[in-house]
């Protein structure tokens, strides 16, 4: 008996299509592989790795041997609401002169700089769970310490960042941010600076202004918007539910933010973090401020901004070997989901 062979044709239109998206600022590529995840709820982790337990060194920093505050905000009842202290285990040596310590063909310098910790009062509530004025107070402290350190001889760039959750690098459960003032400009910031300059030379337009204009026009990726800022999932998101907060006023320098803008930025940051907290069951995350360097040079085509990166996946062979990250949900779907989780 002869056998009839039936060839089944694959209907490409019914299958998912991954996308290679390019970051308009840095030129980096990311893969949006939507076939590897189904719904936004799939990213919700039922259980988190608990933070390190034990005594809280930030509840009473003096008693735990921390150095004296470099900044403290007092409440009307006499208790503190925020304080900034030198890191007890700094990554950079405070106040030392920069010296070259090269070896043969290799270039190196001593790790001169400043490493500080910004601590909010409540040991259990992360920034997304605080009131907007409390987040604005944190931004105020960031700005205060930035201005205090930016003109030191060993400082050309100041990185402010926040780690939440053990998987994101937080070794102490008490919510806190960190500031590192260093003599070098990081490669990633250099990529952004060069990308912004390159885009301007090519189009005569500032790339961050173009981004804000397009995102406000399409509204597909916006999570939250107020008078001064938009929070959105970037077109070329490196991670699921990545959020950027960018100002509507062109301003390369975080330290030049006004008080009104500071409160608006705090609102956008708090609402974004709260939506991530509620929508993804309090995942670990990092956020950080990218700003123009304080090296005395002019960067008119750049724009300071905040980037939030939730930890929803682990880098594996492809990401590590290529530097191309894979995100398993479209930014458009991520933004829609986060919008649905915004509080009032």
DSSP assignment of 203-267, as one string? HSS-HHHHHHHHHHHH-SSEEEE-SSEEEE--TT-SSTT-EEEEESS--S-GGG--HHHHHHHHH
Mean pLDDT over residues 286-309, rounded? 97
Same fold, 16-49+186-340 and 71-96+109-182: yes
pLDDT tens digits, one per residue of 3-57 = 444 444 444 443 456 787 888 998 888 787 766 556 777 778 766 655 555 688 8
Mean pLDDT over residues 310-324, rounded? 88
Mean pLDDT over residues 83-100, rounded? 85
Q: What is the third-level CATH fold of 16-49+186-340? A: HIT family, subunit A (3.30.428)
pLDDT of residue 49: 53
Answer positive or negative: Cα dihedral of 166, 28, 209, 334. negative
Structural domain boundaries in the chain: 16-49+186-340, 71-96+109-182
Q: Which CATH superfamily is domain 71-96+109-182 in?
A: HIT-like (3.30.428.10)
Query: For 301, what's the count of Cα atoms within 13 Å in the CB-facing half-sphere?
Result: 19
Q: Choose between 42 and 90: higher pLDDT.
A: 90
Per-residue pLDDT band at 165 (split at 50, 70, 90): very high
Which neighbouring-strand residues pair with 244?
232, 307
9-13, 210-214, 246-250, range with the lowest pLDDT: 9-13
Residues of the chain with pLDDT > 90, as a percent, come to: 63
Mean of per-residue pLDDT scores for the chain: 89
Q: Determine if the pTM surpasses 0.85.
A: yes
Whether residue 86 has pLDDT greater than 90 = yes
Per-residue pLDDT band at 313 (split at 50, 70, 90): confident
pLDDT tens digits, one per residue of 109-140 = 888 889 999 999 999 999 999 999 999 999 99
pLDDT of residue 3: 46
pLDDT of residue 150: 97
Select, from the ranges 16-20, 104-108, 157-161, the one with the highest average predicted confidence (pLDDT).
Answer: 157-161
Answer positive or negative: Cα dihedral of 159, 162, 166, 171. positive
Mean pLDDT over residues 183-204, rounded? 95
Whether residue 1 has pLDDT greater than 50 = no
């Amino acid at each position: 008996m002869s056998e009839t062979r039936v060839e089944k044709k694959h209907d490409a239109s019914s299958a998912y299509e991954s996308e290679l998206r390019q970051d308009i600022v840095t030129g980096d590529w990311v893969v949006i592989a939507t076939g590897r995840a189904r719904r936004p709820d799939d990213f919700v982790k039922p259980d988190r790795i608990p933070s390190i337990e034990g005594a809280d060194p930030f509840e009473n920093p003096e008693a735990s041997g921390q150095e004296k505050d470099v900044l403290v905000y007092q409440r009307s009842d006499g208790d503190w609401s925020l304080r900034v202290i030198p890191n007890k285990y700094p990554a950079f040596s405070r106040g030392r002169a920069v010296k070259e310590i090269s070896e043969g063909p290799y270039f190196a310098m001593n790790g001169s700089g400043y490493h500080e910790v910004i601590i909010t009062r409540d040991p259990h509530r992360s920034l997304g769970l605080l009131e907007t004025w409390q987040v604005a107070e944190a931004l105020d402290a960031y700005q205060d310490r930035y201005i205090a350190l930016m003109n030191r001889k060993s400082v050309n760039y100041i990185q402010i960042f926040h780690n939440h959750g053990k998987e994101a690098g937080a070794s102490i459960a008490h919510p806190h941010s960190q500031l590192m003032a260093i003599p070098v400009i990081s490669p990633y910031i250099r990529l952004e600076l060069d990308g912004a300059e390159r885009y301007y030379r090519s189009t005569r337009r500032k790339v961050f202004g173009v981004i804000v204009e397009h995102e406000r026009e399409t509204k597909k990726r916006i999570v939250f918007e107020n008078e001064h800022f938009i929070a959105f999932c970037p077109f070329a998101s490196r991670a699921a539910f990545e959020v950027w907060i960018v100002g509507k006023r062109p301003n390369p320098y975080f330290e030049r933010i006004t008080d009104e803008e500071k409160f608006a930025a705090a609102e956008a940051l708090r609402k974004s973090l709260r939506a991530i907290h509620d929508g993804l069951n309090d995942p670990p995350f990092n956020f950080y401020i990218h700003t123009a360097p304080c090296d005395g040079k002019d960067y008119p085509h750049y724009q300071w901004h905040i980037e939030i990166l939730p930890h929803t996946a682990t880098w594996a062979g492809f990401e590590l070997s290529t530097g191309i990250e894979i995100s398993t949900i479209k930014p458009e779907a991520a933004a829609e989901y986060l919008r649905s989780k915004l509080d009032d």
